[in-house]
Amino acid sequence: MQVVYTGADWQKYWLNSLKNDKSIGLVPTMGALHEGHLDLVRKAKSECDIVVVSVFVNPTQFNNQEDFDNYPNTLEADLAKLKEEKVDFVFVPNTENIYPEKPQLSIDFGNLETVLEGAFRPGHFNGVGIIVSKLFNIIRPHKAYFGQKDLQQTGIIKRLVKDLSMNVQLVIVPTRREQDGLAMSSRNMRLSTDERQQALILINSLEKAKQELLTGKAWFEIQNQINHDFEEMPLASLEYFELIHPESFTRYSAFDANQKSSICVAAYVGKIRLIDNLPIIL
């Protein structure tokens, strides 16, 4: 496993890959790796000749400085996990490499960034769009791998690739969960014991809502019940719980079994913000 720190370092390996007609798979991460990340790595290894994992905590996608400052840094452990998975390259740039000066470019994703995460995290998807564009331009992968847990992020990146005619295929991998159902997240390690237990309200609410939708209960009644359920949890605070189209992210006011749909949730548990989603109709 080779660790590279700059785009220039990677360039010689990319040229060699190009010369030998090797396919490249990229797994972009912010480190603090868990089994969900490793699922992406394994999927990439099954489909590509060379796998590159990037580890970079991107400051431009944080609209909360405290969240950025407290984001886990576990690089040594991350490298050990990636070595065990026999990853070919790990790209570990520093902020000065990626942003030699403050970006002047701004990316407007239209309606995609005005709902859900976009509404609660202004500027977040602009930061995502810029760092993903940079990584694609530096690594030049044939395929890039992302997790379904960040559903709206995958929609943003699909739009980025389509509108800019980027020559990369996106592969979305299902959410990996803990045994009790909690979606794996680097943020989970920051939860206290009590918070970790109450965090289960996210997946429990999603599963409850899905079951009731499929048995014919009205969506507004389900939303009201979920709001009440969160109010009963002293450590949890709901931001949104929405039924949406999983590609346009249009919010539905009622369920239609003939339309694609997913439920998305975001909540604070203590001071930790968690998100999750569950497909209803694919």
Chain-centroid distance, C-alpha 85: 21
Asked if residue 133 belongs to a known ligand binding site, the reply is: no
Asked if residue 61 belongs to a known ligand binding site, the reply is: yes
Active site residue 37: yes
Give the residue carrying structure tokens 């930790």. Answer: 272
The amino acid that residue 112 corresponds to is: L
Asked if residue 166 belongs to a known ligand binding site, the reply is: no
Asked if residue 15 belongs to a known ligand binding site, the reply is: no
Asked if residue 185 belongs to a known ligand binding site, the reply is: yes
Structure-token pair, residue 210:
């899905």
Asked if residue 124 belongs to a known ligand binding site, the reply is: no
Catalytic residue among 37, 124, 142, 228: 37
DSSP H helices, the chain, are: 7-19, 35-47, 65-69, 75-84, 95-98, 117-120, 124-139, 151-163, 193-198, 201-214, 219-231
The amino acid that residue 47 corresponds to is: E
**Separation in Å, CA 158 to CA 54, 58, 122, 146:** 19, 19, 19, 11
What residues have CB less than 8 Å from 122, skipping those under 6 apart?
63
Cα separation, 258 vs 143, whole angstroms: 31
Asked if residue 211 belongs to a known ligand binding site, the reply is: no
What residues have CB less than 8 Å from 58, skipping those under 6 apart?
30, 98, 127, 128, 131
Asked if residue 225 belongs to a known ligand binding site, the reply is: no
Greatest pairwise CA separation for the chain in angstroms: 60
Asked if residue 233 belongs to a known ligand binding site, the reply is: no
Cα separation, 49 vs 45, whole angstroms: 7
Asked if residue 32 belongs to a known ligand binding site, the reply is: yes
How many CB atoms within 10 Å of residue 87?
23
Asked if residue 37 belongs to a known ligand binding site, the reply is: yes
Asked if residue 150 belongs to a known ligand binding site, the reply is: yes
Asked if residue 165 belongs to a known ligand binding site, the reply is: no
Asked if residue 88 belongs to a known ligand binding site, the reply is: no
Asked if residue 79 belongs to a known ligand binding site, the reply is: no
Which residues participate in the annotated binding site for ATP? Answer: 30-37, 147-150, 184-187
Binding region for (R)-pantoate: 61, 153
What residues are labeled active site?
Answer: 37
For the annotated binding site for beta-alanine, the residues are: 61
Binding-site members are: 30-37, 61, 147-150, 153, 184-187
